[in-house]
Structure 1
Amino acid sequence: MRYLSELLARSLLAALPLAAAARAGAEGLRIDADAAVEMALAASQRVVAAEARIGSAQLTVDAADAAQLPVVGTSAAVSQRSAVPEFAAATGGPGTEPVVIFPNIETAYAAGIGVRQPLYAGGGIQAGREAARHGLAAADSSQALTLLDLRYQARVSYWGAVAADAALGAAQAQELRALRLLEDARSLRAAGMAVDADVLGGEARAASARLDVVRASTERSNRLAGLRSLLGVAADIDLTLADRGTHQLPPMPAPLDELLASASDSRPELAIVDARIAEALATERSVNAARKPAVGLAAQWDLARPNVRYLPLEDAWNDSWSVGLLASWTVFDGERALSDAAAVRAEAQAMAADRDELARQVRLQVETARLSLEAALEAVESADAARKAAAAREEASRERYAAGLAPIVEMMDAQAELADAEVAQITVRAAAWIAAADVQRAVGR
């Protein structure tokens, strides 16, 4: 019941971002990276599946705990039997009235209540409870991994859409420059200061710029479609990216040792493997418990007609009870339990080796993600300087071309250089934010 209440509460909270998106409707929806993360978590069925797996693991814990509780059973029976000769004997001696010891009772009734309480199971019950709890811990860590992956995917998808949107703006600006160049070429040709080749070159540049706009527009549409799908936003809702055209940058990463320590403590993949190893070791103890003796307490209360514990038998209701100790010990099972325990132990050893390899990969991921973020942040200054220089050259070339002092080839080269610089400026800024998301993912945040 507690699990269902928590699941209902989380579902209601998760529905709030979706309700806000529905209210936005045709008026559009403005989001930033943090809003994208919250909406992705609310819309994903992977979160629902992770919650369900936690519920399943919790029920497994409840079942393991119930193994130490008494088991109460009831029974009832009625049977119709064939007639048999009665048996009577003069129990009082010669000359006394015979007593019917076994009467002809054709209909028999019986009911009973039994209780069994395990007292000692070789540690198997406790080991089973521990294994179930480690399984629950693994399910919790699996949910954390799901949330971590969704947060990372949402941030990368968001910044990819921001980059695609900015790239489209750069392509459109380049198209406008190409069209102005074409217009200038035609004006100069009309004034006798340019030749047909200049006009043809301008037309080629304008056509190439239009092609770049189409490609950038398609990429932007694809990125936004992927973002909408991840966030659960309908196609008719216009998404406005809050960081469009932003010049903000993520902060420099923390020292490597600090990030490695955080990853060692926070990465859910490591926690999952640790829980599975502990679960396997507990399972091994549970399997080994089958090789030890088991002792239990049993009690039974019966109500029967006739009750065979009463002699002479009579067609009447009588009750009886019994209390006793039950002990069992499997002396030989063909070493089945021993082999099963060895197999579980070998699997735990394999998972321990996998854990060491995973830890190595985590350390490498943290180091490379940090290096990528540092490189991206360092590249921003160079990209900004390159864009500024390319813009100055394009302006100077345009003035020289308008004055008839420069060929159109120089102008087209300057425009192409400016377009490349603008795209590089956009790319390195988006790469910096994506690298920051990589660092967060690598350390398990």
Structure 2
Amino acid sequence: MGKRYFQCMGAERKYRNENGMDCLSFRIADDNAAGISISLWIGRNAMMTTALLLALLTGTVTGSGENMDLSGWVAMALDNSPAISSSEASLLSAEASFAGAESFLYPSLTATAGASRMWADSWSEEYGVVKVENDRYSAGLTLSQELLQSGGQNWLYRSASELTLLAVQADHQSTVLEVMRSVADSYYSVLEALQLKCSAETAHQRSLNQLQRTEQLYAIGAVTTLDLLQVQVQESADRLAVSRSSQRVLTAYTELYVAAGVDVAVCDLAIDTNAVLHPVSERAAESLSLDISRNPDLQAARFREKAAEKRYTASGRSYWPSLRASAGWSWQDGTLNNIDHMFDNDSYNVGLSLSWSIFDGFQRESGINSARASHLSAASARESMENSLEASVHSLKGNLLTDIQYYEDSKLMLEQAEERYRLSLSSYEIGALTLLELLDAQADLASAEANLVTAGVNALKTEASLLVQLGRPPRTGE
């Protein structure tokens, strides 16, 4: 697609819309199409719309900037998407939680030091009340290691935390696939809008040519006023279709910029219409395996179910005792003058401690019931997701086969419409066909062109959705 040259005709009028917002109405004309009226509201929320208008005026939306294929847009989205940034933050949090769950594997080392002074009064027969002051200095190190917490409860919690981390990793993969699908969907919407705009411009050019011929015939009295009005109405309708298709291009690019996480105000990118994918063949679609085991959402649900089961088992271990080993060194003295000989006045200790909670006010029972409910909920969520995915992928595959068949049929219908229009034009020129019949053939050709574009894009979108549901990235290149 070549460069497009736009001219802003200026603000036509300022008015207040039905929501009480001040608006400006602009009229834009280009070298190939009739004028387009665009209304902008004035205020802080108008920044995006104003930027889009500037992009339209400078040619960004119509492809005068750098062109990128689908793989380029996907790569940019993976770098800029806020959804992926949020998912990465959740992943870091899960990794930190797992590291915390492993802390029991390492011993704890505690250092202590203290200094105190004591004042006391004591009675003596010889001296009466005697005031006594004592200083006390101390230091110590304690090394302890948990050997077994409540019958291995800590190991079960570690396994549950690891499974939760795997679930969050699967969530991150799901987010990446969803961003890729969203970008592909928006990319195909832009492609559809551009191709429909091209089709509308072609249809308008046919109407314009027909109008010029009809006006010449009308000037010599070869056609009636009704015939001229019919052609004028058709040309006006096609001109309006061009204007609407231009607006759809603008809207489609907005959605693509949002999906890719880029700012339209500083972005000068467009899709590469020369690197466009085509729908897969019906045989290739039939051969697609509907194995949902790779779906990251399902994998995350399964990991969370296993994690909930581990926590439920761990909560039952709270009836068991805990075992801890410890070793320590300590020193204390009433003065610091002998600090050089502190190891002559120190002590060491080693020990094993066994603790067993006999009764805690039914806190254990409450924790067990809560963990059991969480396990049942996770199992239900996993089962529901499996059933939903099974139904979804079968439905999407059926839709894909239907879309591919309709795409192939649309090719044949376009060929038929082109041949009919060619024959109708020849018949009209020799007087064997009425003008109304020619206009009908012309409208059928425009409709067939639009149907082929829409059918191809629908097949590509359905294919992308199906691949993502199967846990596979959508196609971004041949």
TM-score, with normalisation over the residues of structure 1? Answer: 0.83
Please point out which of 332, 354, 361 is paired with 2:359.
Answer: 332
Matched, 1:64 2:101: yes
Distance 1:323 1:381, change over 3 A: closer
**What amino acid maps onto 2:74 in structure 1?**
V
Q: Are residues 1:323 and 2:350 paired?
A: yes
Q: CA deviation at 1:419?
A: 1.1
Q: Which secondary structure does the structure 1 equivalent of 2:354 belong to?
A: strand
Structure 2 residue 83 is the aligned partner of structure 1 residue 55:
no
Aligned residue in 1 for 2:378 = 351
Report the counterpart of residue 20 of structure 1 in structure 2: none
Long gaps (5+) in structure 1: 1-24, 89-101, 308-315
* 1:45 aligned partner: 82
240, 256, 260: which one pairs with 1:227? 256
2:407 corresponds in structure 1 to 380
Question: Does residue 1:278 correspond to 2:306, yes or no?
Answer: yes
Q: Per-residue deviation at 1:77?
A: 1.8
Alignment of 1:1-150 (within 5 A): 28-85=65-122, 104-121=132-149, 122-150=151-179
Measured after TM superposition, the shift of residue 228 of structure 1 is: 2.1
Q: Of 444, 450, 453, which residue of structure 2 is paired with 1:423?
A: 450
| C-alpha deviation, 1:50, in angstroms | 2.0
Larger strand proportion, structure 1 or 2? Answer: 2
Give SS of 2:115's match.
strand
Could you say what the CA RMSD is over the residues aligned between the two structures, in angstroms? 2.7
The answer to whether residue 326 in structure 2 is matched with residue 289 in structure 1 is no
Give the Cα separation in 2 of the matches to 1:257 and 1:270. 22
Distance 2:327 2:390 in 1: 59
Identical-pair percentage: 25
Q: Offset at 1:326?
A: 1.5
Cα drift, residue 239 of structure 1: 3.8
Question: Cα distance, 1:347 vs. partner?
Answer: 1.7
Deviation of 1:208 after TM superposition, in Å, equals 0.7
Q: 2:422 aligns with which of 395, 407, 411?
A: 395
Cα 1:81–1:39 change in 2 (3 A) is: same
What SS does structure 2 have at the residue aligned with 1:115? Answer: strand
Structure 1 pair 123–414 and aligned structure 2 pair: CA distance change class (3 A)? same
8 Å CA contact 1:306, 1:317 repeated in 2: no
Which amino acid is 2:397 matched to? R
Residue 363 in structure 1 maps to residue 390 in structure 2? yes
Report SS of the residue matched to 1:330.
coil
2:116 aligns to what SS in structure 1?
Answer: strand
Name the CA distance, whole Å, in 1 between partners of 2:416 and 2:348. 100
Which whole-Å CA distance do the structure 2 matches of 1:325 and 1:86 have between them? 44
Contact 2:296–2:471 under 8 Å retained in 1: yes
- For residue 434 of structure 2, what is the amino acid of its counterpart? P
Native 8 Å contact 1:124 1:286 kept in 2 = yes
Counterpart CA distance in 1 for 2:412 and 2:280 is 19
TM (norm. structure 2) is: 0.77
The one-letter amino acid of 2:95's match is: Q
Partner of 1:241: 271
In the alignment of these two chains, the number of paired residues is 399
Distance 2:427 2:379 in 1: 70
Q: 1:65 & 1:245 partners in 2: Cα distance?
A: 50
TM-superposed CA distance for 1:240, in Å, is 4.1
CA 104–237 in structure 1, closer or farther in 2 if over 3 Å, else same? closer
* Residue of structure 2 in register with 1:410 after alignment: 437
Q: Distance in 1 between matches of 2:283 and 2:258?
A: 31
Paired with 2:276 and 2:286, the residues of 1 have a C-alpha distance of 28
Equivalent position SS for 2:350: strand
Offset at residue 238 of structure 1 (A): 4.5
* Matches of 2:268 and 2:347, distance apart in 1: 79
Among candidates 194, 198, 202, match of residue 165 of structure 1: 194
Alignment-mate amino acid for residue 354 of structure 1: A
CA deviations 1:78-103 (Å, max 9, x no partner) are 22221333899xxxxxxxxxxxxx99
Q: What SS does structure 1 have at the residue aligned with 2:209?
A: helix
Structure 2 residue matching 1:114: 3-state secondary structure: strand
What are the superposed Cα offsets for residues 156-200 of structure 1, whole Å, 9 maximum, x if unpaired? 111111111100001111111111111111111112111112111
Contact 2:286/2:401 (<8 A) preserved? no
Structure 1 residues 217 and 258, CA, compared in 2 at 3 Å: closer, same or farther? closer
Instruction: Tell me which residue corresponds to 1:91.
Output: none
* Distance in structure 1 (CA, Å) of the matches to 2:408 and 2:286: 23
Partner SS, residue 74 of structure 1? strand
State the shift of 1:27 in Å: 6.5
1:140 to 1:245, Cα distance in 2 relative to 1, 3 A: closer
Task: Return the alpha-carbon distance in structure 1 between the equivalents of residues 408 and 287 of structure 2.
Answer: 27
CA drift at 1:438: 1.9
Give the drift of 1:203: 1.3
